[in-house]
Chain A
Amino acid sequence: MGILRTFALGGIHPPENKLSANAPIETLPVPKQAIVPLGQNLGAPSKPIVKKGDEVKVGQLIAEAGGFISTNIHSPVSGKIFKIDNAIDGTGYKRPCIIINVADDVWDDTIDTSAEIVSEIKQSPEEIIDIIKNAGIVGLGGATFPTYVKLMPPPGKTAEYLIINGVECEPYLTSDHRLMLEKGREIIIGTRILMKALNVKKAFIGIENNKPDAINHMTELVKSHDDIEIQSLKVQYPQGGEKQLIKASVNREVPSGKLPIEVGCVVQNVGTAFAVYEAVQKNKPLVERVVTVTGKSVKKPSNFMVRIGTPISELIDAADGLPENTGKIIGGGPMMGKAITSLEVPVVKGSSGILIMEEGESFRSTEGPCIRCSKCTYVCPMGLEPYLLSKAAKLSNFEMAENESIMDCIECGSCQYGCPAAIPLLDYLRLGKLKVGQIMRNRK
């Protein structure tokens, strides 16, 4: 096989802990009440088009896009709108949500709910983009960037390659892994749909080689296609980052502050490819997704197919309950996920996993003085100097932070993971990015 492809700068290798890799995807029963937040994507929140007391079916449009970078939201359940009110999200902030009391499980008539796989693509590229836009599909890797925006390259730019992200470099998470194993054919068809929409001739599916079963399965499936290539990548975090994956797959570097289309690439997650398949071939909008529930103390680490809006407490119950000594609950993986403040938070389009950490596991060591070991600089995948940037942010020297390209930081957390003095480098980097971002916006 030779040297495995990977990205060039930095990178770390945290313990993988893929506890739920062998747990097949289970479909979770519909919840009693679904909380559907209106701001589920990067960009503007959606605008509700239903009102209190309305009856809705599964897949019915309940909120429209509220701007260019925004998406439609469809009802994930059937029942009566209970209220449209503020409810807490994972961070504890209250945000507008549509709360639906579930009655039955009646799907909209136009949706094909059969298990039959449709492989022929009938629609034109414009129609495909339209369907994806209407189905409310966002990047399911976690960034929740509306997918249709990525499929419309700005004038003067053309896409050359489509890269499907099956890397899943975050420890613990296995939702993409299971999806590739169980819905491989659908993902390939989804990839072909995306290729048609973008008019590209070549697609890569990047998978880290700690998932040999997924690599073998997918390679088997693309044998008849020359234009889709499965790439086995060396295990290294953060390979799932868009820029890192492009570097690893086609050896191109996205210039600082630019989008991947600048180097002719479009990156989509495997989950997104699956959602695209369902939307285009089955007319099924994005109402459910695969979520991993895992953790060292969890009795039954599992992968669930759940409706958007299901409270995470139901997922945890389905994985045999919350362990006694839980210290921290994380929405997403341990490297980039967000700590969750309450169990009443619903699953949203961007939830890829729920990680439960024991009390001792989640504690941070006491911060010591920086010994200038430069390990943070060695591991930074963007070639930044985290020690310098965090110090600049801490001392409010935002001008210096900006000049040292703090905005290039992808917040992967590699620097803080390896810091021997346990300095919360990324906390300060985020603070710096926040402030520098404000300063830059004010300047315009």
Chain B
Amino acid sequence: MSNFTVSGSPHIQGDESTKKIMYGVVIAMIPTVLFSIYFFGIDAIRVFLLAIVASLFFEWAIQKYLIKGPLSINDGSALVTAILLALNLPSNLPGWMVIIGALVAIGMAKMSFGGLGKNVFNPALVARVFLLVSFPVEMTSWPKPKPITEGLADVITGPTPLGIVKEGLGANKTMSELTPELPTYTQGLMGNMGGSMGEVSALALILGGIYMLWKKIITWHIPVSMLLTVAIFSGIFWGIDPEHYADPVFHMLTGGMLLGAIFMATDMVTSPMTKEGQLVFGFGVGLLTILIRMWGAYPEGVSFAILIMNAAVPLINMGFKPRRFGAKPGVALNN
């Protein structure tokens, strides 16, 4: 018989693991992935495969030859980043740009901070924003979704609904004039509108969100506070002047709002640690998104909003501590 083991308590461990969480996120993304393949066809598969292979390769290569640390390629975190990155790209993006995106996501946003768990910004979003500012034309010529069942004809590119609104309002048109150009709510829910691969189908994203809530991978705090903030603020402006501001439901269903709220802002590494902090974080993201969408230069603001709030997370963590047992509510113990 071998020696007994000695260790501190506890002597049992729950069945949670990093791997389980990461693959849980991957499972939650499957409906979205399937919808985007349905709408964008072979091109979508190409972008997904490229992003996954490139991300995994960079993760492996950097860990093996630059950091020379233990390999953690199996934990699934690079896979999650890869799929999230692909969901943030237009399906007709040239392959080499996808690879650059993967390098930026893994190399710059994740590994240069020290790898999993140490990055400040969401890797997939850093890569998206990097590509957006580097290749604005390619990153904003969104292919029109064309269900795979309707054959593999040439894709037509066009602006996103948010782009239509931005440009239209900029050209002094009113919302009622623009409405015929915009997708209906049903189309928005199902995903039949222009946009990046993961932005198109609200239904699939919500499905994934419900799955992650059920598996306790995410809590409701960030998505709910973020969406509520967006709804309230866009609602106020829409109530004041429906001709110049889009309605809340439109804001919810278009662009990266749901993708951001469900998969991006809830990223464990780059979101606050306490539930109170998460509510504040969600509020900040929602507010910044609306500000950028209404008055910013870009039609879409979710990625920038999340990245800006990512930077504020350490501050939020310092300011919003959990309520200590035995302390009066709202009063820190040592003050």
Q: Which residues of A are interface residues toward B (Cβ below 8 A)? A: 9, 12, 14-15, 92, 171, 243, 247, 253-256, 258, 324-330, 332, 334-341, 355, 357, 359, 361-365, 368-375, 377-378, 380-385, 387-388, 403-405, 408, 411, 413, 416-422, 424, 426-427, 430
Contacts and interface: CB of A to CB of B under 8 A. Distances in A.
Nearest to B21: A420
A372 B5 contact: no
B21 A338 contact: no
Interface in B1-29: 1-2, 4-14, 16-18, 20-21
A284 B260 CA distance: 68
B4 A341 contact: yes
A362 B6 CA distance: 9
26 contacts: A9-B323, A92-B6, A255-B327, A256-B324, A256-B333, A325-B1, A328-B4, A330-B9, A339-B4, A341-B4, A341-B6, A362-B5, A363-B5, A364-B13, A365-B17, A370-B117, A371-B21, A371-B269, A385-B273, A405-B324, A408-B324, A420-B16, A420-B17, A420-B21, A421-B17, A427-B7
Interface string B44-79: 000000000000000000000000000010010100
Nearest to B11: A334
Interface of B: 1-2, 4-14, 16-18, 20-21, 72, 75, 77, 115-118, 268-269, 271, 273-275, 321-327, 333-334
Contact of A408 (B16, B116, B268, B326): B326
Nearest to A357: B11
Contacts of B274: 374, 377, 385
A339 B9 CA distance: 8
Contact of B21 (A339, A373, A378, A426): A373
A171 B274 CA distance: 28
Contact of A337 (B9, B77, B116, B321): B9
Contacts of B72: 368-369
B326 A253 contact: yes
A336 B10 contact: yes
B9 A12 contact: no
What is the predominant secondary structure among interface residues of chain A facing chain B?
A: loop
B70 to A, nearest CB: 9
A256 B326 contact: yes
A404 B268 CA distance: 22
B208 to A, nearest CB: 18
Nearest to A421: B18
B75 A338 contact: no
B326 A339 contact: no
A9 B274 CA distance: 13
Contact of B325 (A15, A256, A328): A256
Contacts of B7: 328, 339, 362, 364, 424, 427
Given A373-B21, A377-B322, A420-B16, A256 B11 contact: no
A383 B13 contact: no
A430 B8 CA distance: 9
Contacts of B8: 339, 424, 426-427, 430
Nearest to A327: B5
The listed residue with most A CB atoms (<10 A of its CB), out of B1, B118, B324, is: B324
Nearest to A237: B10
A65 to B, nearest CB: 29
B273 A387 contact: yes
Contacts of B2: 327, 359
A340 B274 CA distance: 37
Given A337-B9, A359-B2, A411-B9, A418 B14 contact: yes
Nearest to B75: A368
Contacts of B20: 420
Contact of B334 (A341, A364, A403): A403
Contacts of A324: 1
Which 3 residue pairs across A and B have the least CB separation, nearest first? A413-B10, A369-B117, A420-B16
Contacts of A362: 5, 7, 11
A377 B117 contact: no
A13 to B, nearest CB: 10
A375 B217 CA distance: 10
Given A369-B116, A420-B20, A337 B334 contact: no
Given A373-B21, A405-B333, A413 B9 contact: yes
B25 to A, nearest CB: 11
B12 A171 contact: yes
B11 A371 contact: no
A363 to B, nearest CB: 8
A335 B10 CA distance: 4
Contact of B117 (A372, A411, A416): A372
A405 B327 CA distance: 11
B14 A12 contact: yes
B325 A326 contact: no
Contacts of A9: 322-323, 325
A404 B327 CA distance: 13
Contacts of B18: 368, 371, 420-421
Given A324-B1, A380-B322, 19 more contacts: A9-B323, A247-B325, A256-B324, A258-B326, A328-B6, A337-B9, A339-B4, A339-B7, A365-B17, A371-B77, A375-B16, A377-B274, A378-B275, A387-B273, A388-B273, A416-B13, A418-B14, A420-B17, A420-B18
